[in-house]
Amino acid sequence: MLLAEVAATSDAVAATRSRLAKRAAIADLLRRTADGAGGAAPSDAGPAGVAEAVSDDLEIVVAYLAGALRQRRTGLGYAALRDLPPPSSDATLTVRDVDAAFAAMASLEGSGSAQARSTAAGELFGAATEREQAFLRGLVAGELRQGALDSVVVDAIAEAADVPADAVRRAVMLRGATGPVASAALLADDPLTALAGFTLEVGRPVRPMLAQSAPDIAAAFEKLGGGEPTELCVDVKLDGIRIQVHRLGDDVRVVTRSLDDITERVPEIVDVVRALPSDRLVLDGEALGVGPDGVPRPFQETAARSATHESGRGSSRGPARAASAEEALADQFQLTPFFFDVLHAGGRDLLDAPLRERLTVLDEVAGPHTVRRLLTSDADEAAEFFAGALREGQEGVVIKSLDTPYAAGRRGAGWVKVKPRKTLDLVVLAVERGSGRREGWLSNIHLGARDPEGGFVMLGKTFKGMTDQMLQWQTERFRELEVEDNGWVVKVRPEQVVEIAFDGLQRSTRYPGGLALRFARVLRYRDDKTAAEADTIDTVRSLAV
């Protein structure tokens, strides 16, 4: 399959707001890919080679249309995307050419790897047309804003294979990846039978169930109970990292929300799971760093203990330095697991069991290692529980229906999270050009807090929360404030105030203030405030205490 065809479909998807039209465009490309259109394999390849090539193409196309590379890290940064070679006039790149090039870049490490990666990137982008370059740049930067999220791609697979969408969703949930499911659905003689072949396997991660959001406890109870008194589960939402744990005998595997394997980095969690009474388990929960004083550690320290460091891939930290930092953290505190759900226990799959039943099993197999929870039909009682969790320094609560199954990989209506919303009035310091659906607009804004001593201190970037109307407005506004444009980042006069919601702060060596916003998103632009009225870095630091 030619990359040009994927880019063209991406353009078609970006050009429409209709989810049905997006799905239809993607389904059409998937059918053509499955049929071998676009040159799936060399003409002298045998039947097995053709089938393998088509399967590879499908997996790559599915990833690209969902806005992601198959390689989690390539080591390419914004600097490598600024100085691109002139585009090719001919569209010759196949998706497997591109995938192989990025895989080769991702494998580079050690002395000279940065230059080798830059050279390889230049060769790849030089072989791409102007449109393909823009598409690839959006993939690398993670900003292919075309409105084709993974959920739309999943629905398109169902349409292309003429099977129920729920069958595809469940297979994706259990396989933990969309590409292999697309191959099974589109290349098998009996797609439904092929999809049914994806089952829960202890040891193979599944996509975690996600929660919707509500602004407060009352809204969450209304959403889950429909206005009627209904007993609900209220879990404390810990400020840790999401973990999924698999145990088969003495073999234990621990993965993150993104299904990265961190088993070797969390031996204390492995020991806890090995001590549990059941030797066949799949548990869902959080890992929280707790110091010798019993006080939870800041989120960034917990995240640092579990992060995957890859030397030579865009990081300045070599393996020796990374290891020493991790060892220092390990000496300071241990990671403690707190489980809030069970997907499998003792040979029995529990995905389809109601939460009430799963909690009974969870208490039996994980007893003292469960998240603190409250079962209540009283919203006022839940609000008191929520306030208590906040006083303890936790993130908030997750309110759950006791009747729902485990809907992995989806923000189902069965779970609703409630967290206190933090906001800051910050100043826009610069803005980056958009790509994909946002091409032609100025998108990702650089955020700064006012320094009482003069100037502004950068705290991070965001493109979250922006409507098309807002993008159009800010493109015009920041062109008025422009002081420098290097082709990627437009520096602006620090005059425009923006109200930002965020989930928390973490220490950062990347920014001069030593702090970075977590999950920042735009609420609105504040034309009623001047930059002199923006929040100060001192205010921000006070929130980090």
Angle at CA of residue 273, ends 267 and 275, nearest 5°: 105
Alpha-carbon separation of residue 228 from 36, 318, 330, 345 (angstroms): 54, 57, 48, 33
The label of the residue with tokens 């929040």 reads: 535
Cβ atoms 60, 96 nearer than 8 A: yes
End-to-end CA distance of the chain: 53
Tokens of 2: 């030619």
Nearest CA among 287, 415, 417, 280 for reference residue 361: 280
Q: Which amino acid is at 14?
A: A
Nearest CA among 308, 300, 306, 294 for reference residue 268: 306
Of 22, 237, 417, 419, catalytic = 237
Is-catalytic flag, 529?
no
Nearest CA among 34, 9, 49 for reference residue 185: 34
Sign of the torsion formed by the C-alpha atoms of 329, 331, 333 and 337: positive
Side-chain-facing half-sphere of 359: CA atoms under 13 Å: 18
Instruction: Tell me what percent of the chain is helix, strand and coil, each rounded to the nearest 5.
Output: 40, 25, 35
Alpha-carbon separation of residue 119 from 69, 89, 312 (angstroms): 19, 20, 15
d(CA 182, CA 513): 45
The label of the residue with tokens 């003689």 reads: 189
Cβ atoms 300, 506 nearer than 8 A: yes
Nearest CA among 86, 78, 146 for reference residue 487: 78
> In sequence order, which ranges of 491-536 are alpha helices (DSSP H)?
none
Nearest CA among 68, 33, 246, 56 for reference residue 156: 33
Q: In this structure, what are the phi and psi dihedrals at residue 144, rounded to the nearest 5 degrees?
A: -85, 80
Q: Quick count: other Cβ atoms within 10 Å of Cβ 158? A: 21
Alpha-carbon separation of residue 71 from 60, 355, 443 (angstroms): 10, 35, 25
d(CA 214, CA 407): 19
SS (H, E, C) 92-113: CCEHHHHHHHHHHHHHCCCCCH
Cβ atoms 387, 182 nearer than 8 A: no
400 DSSP 8-state letter: E
| Residues with catalytic function | 237
